[in-house]
Amino acid sequence: MKKIELDIVALSHSVTQSHNYAVVLGEQDGSRRLPIVIGSFEAQAIAVAMERMTPNRPLTHDLFKNTLETFNIDLKEVIINNLLDGIFYARLICIKDGELIEVDSRTSDALAMAVRFNCPIYTYEFILDAAGVVLEETEEHPEAVKTEERQEKEKRTGSLSRYTIDALQKMLEEVLSEEDYERAAEIRDEIKRRKEKS
């Protein structure tokens, strides 16, 4: 079966399920998108790795990565290999001493590991046919489409503008100690934006 390579193109609040998030995977050589609903913990694990943030203590996925590396196991790729009753299934394709080892995984955990190992993510045509969506207008006019999550982020980031850089640095330390990495990324971006301006 031919594998289709995907990239993580968005991570946002799920419109259909409150308290959950959606990770959107995009076909590398096409316009189809594969939205997958995930929990907040897994969304945070993916966001932390994508933002290259270093938590005070290793998150579970960091611990698993460190364990694999300690035993000289490399994560070669992630495959979203099935879709049953609306649930996605995935496998971690690992290499140890030249031998391929497949490990069953929840899709959200597999994606969090793929980001940490910087390895490719694949799926199959039948999964994209069943659950994929085709982007049309958004690719022609991306500025015209604003997700609720992006609007909310802009509101929150706007509220950061009234703080001094010193206050923002202190706030950043506080949210990192509380392990609120999403808010930490917003504060860090505001600090970076100000430093670039000055």
Distance CA 103, CA 135 (A): 32
What is 19-55 written as a DSSP string? Answer: TEEEEEEEETTSSEEEEEEEEHHHHHHHHHHHTT---
pLDDT of 174 reads 80
What number is the average pLDDT over the span 91-111? 96
Q: What is the pLDDT of residues 129-179, one digit of tens each?
A: 999 888 764 444 444 344 444 445 444 555 777 788 888 888 877 877 776
Which structure tokens are listed for 70? 């300690």
What number is the average pLDDT over the span 24-45? 90
Asked if 137 contacts 144 with a C-beta cutoff of 8 angstroms, the reply is yes
This prediction has a pTM of 0.68
What number is the average pLDDT over the span 115-129? 95
Report the chain's mean pLDDT, rounded to a whole number: 83
